[in-house]
Amino acid sequence: MNCPLCGLEDVQQIPSRSERGFSVFIECKRCGKFEIDNHSAADIKNGRQKENIHLLQALTRHITENKQRPYFIDLALTDSETLFHERVVAVAPQPNDIEAKTDEILRYIARKSTFPGYSISFSADYDYPVGYCRNAAEAAFYISHLRNMGFIAGNIPSPLVSLSADGWKRVSSFQIQNVESKQAFVAMSFAKAFDGVFIDGIEPVAEHTGYKMLRMDGRQFNGKICDEIILEIRRSRFVVAEVSGQNRGVYYEAGFAMGMGIPVIWCCKETAIGKCHFDTRQFNHIVWKDPVDLKTKLANRIMATIGRPVIINPVR
């Protein structure tokens, strides 16, 4: 059987039947491990979501590389342009974001490298999904760019590449912070009008993702609140910045987190998105209609870009 997503031949497959219907588990050298129901596979074979199917390949490959539970592709995803955009397209680097894509490739090489000077095999044909690339030609372009920038070393046409000293410095500059933290800091307006947004749209996300959503007005402490805010941001795995109220403090807290290398997920109500500060419009905002819509989209974004909390050296 060929891979339903990329067409690669001779992939491993395990047919399955459950309450969700007939599906198959796939293990593909290019797309990683995922489960797909028969209707979705037929949709994709018939050209459904063809323009952005490479982003679904990237999503399943990244989930596999992060050792998360294989992604399940159902008919609701492939049959709905809106849902496919929210779950797949919206969480990927934009087509012209060369820096984001090259950084993803650098992260991949670093994860596979045992020590500085270690060489790994990077195949543009098999590994283009790790950079959210459309095909092997795009991945080869970024590899050439990384060589020209002095971030990787390796002789063409050999597939072996290694990070240079500057490459390791680049990777360390965006090293994941607080990888063991199960806390997410919520930067948002404390106005009463936003209480329902937090209670119904943000706080319940904890049940689906494993992260506690911390809003500072709900925490008891002594001392100045600004000091506590900085402390809790430093402790958090990521920050949710809900900017519908255009609160300056929210922008400050998000900027502080980004300076610390802590990921920020930007959110804004659809009626307020045009008011967002010019300097932040470049970021991929979750645009929501109501708290229930926000809950779904935020949970999906967290699972796609952050993943569940990491458990290191668990007690046996």
Query: Over the stretch 86-142, which tens digit does the pLDDT of each residue have?
Result: 778 877 766 667 888 898 899 899 999 999 999 999 999 999 999 999 999 999 999
Is residue 113 a contact partner of residue 151, using CB atoms and an 8 Å limit?
A: no
Q: CB under 8 Å to 34, separation ≥6 — which residues?
A: 5, 25, 26, 28, 60, 63, 64, 70, 71, 72, 73
pLDDT at 312 over 60: no
Span 174-193, pLDDT tens digits: 666 677 789 999 999 989 99
The domain spans of the chain are 12-91, 98-173, 183-305
CATH class of the domain whose range is 98-173: mainly alpha
- Percent of the chain having pLDDT more than 70? 91
Q: pLDDT class for 314, splitting at 50, 70, 90?
A: very low
**Nearest-angstrom CA–CA distance, 229 and 242:** 15
pLDDT for 213 equals 96
Q: pLDDT class for 311, splitting at 50, 70, 90?
A: low
Averaged pLDDT score across all residues of the chain: 87
State how far the alpha carbon of 25 is from the alpha carbons of 16, 40, 65, in Å.
7, 13, 16
pLDDT for 40 equals 93
pLDDT at 221 over 70: no
Span 239-295, pLDDT tens digits: 999 999 998 889 989 988 887 778 999 999 999 998 888 778 778 899 999 999 999
3 state SS for the chain: CCCCCCCCCCCEEEEEEECCEEEEEEEECCCEEEEEEHHHHHHHHCCCCHHHHHHHHHHHHHHHHCCCCCEEECHHHHHCHHHHHHHCHHHCCCCCCHHHHHHHHHHHHHHHCCCCCCCEECCHHHHHHHHCCCCHHHHHHHHHHHHHHCCEECCCCCCEEEECHHHHHHHHHCCCCCCCCCEEEEECCCCHHHHHHHHHHHCCHHHHHCCEEECHHHCCCCCCHHHHHHHHHHHCCEEEEECCCCCHHHHHHHHHHHHCCCCEEEEEECCCHHHCCHHHCCCCCEEECCHHHHHHHHHHHHHHHCCCCCCCCCCC
Min mean pLDDT across 19-28, 140-149, 202-211, 303-312 is at: 303-312
Is 60 buried (19+), middle (13-18) or exposed (0-12) by CB count in 10 A? buried
Return the closest-CA partner of residue 92 out of 126, 64, 58. 58
Q: 21 or 39, which is more confident? A: 39
Is residue 275 a contact partner of residue 219, using CB atoms and an 8 Å limit?
A: no
pLDDT at 316 over 50: no
Kindly report the pTM of this predicted structure: 0.61
pLDDT for 313 equals 42
pLDDT for 19 equals 66
pLDDT for 197 equals 96
CATH of span 183-305? 3.40.50.450
Return the closest-CA partner of residue 3 out of 129, 160, 159. 129
pLDDT for 315 equals 38
pLDDT for 223 equals 47
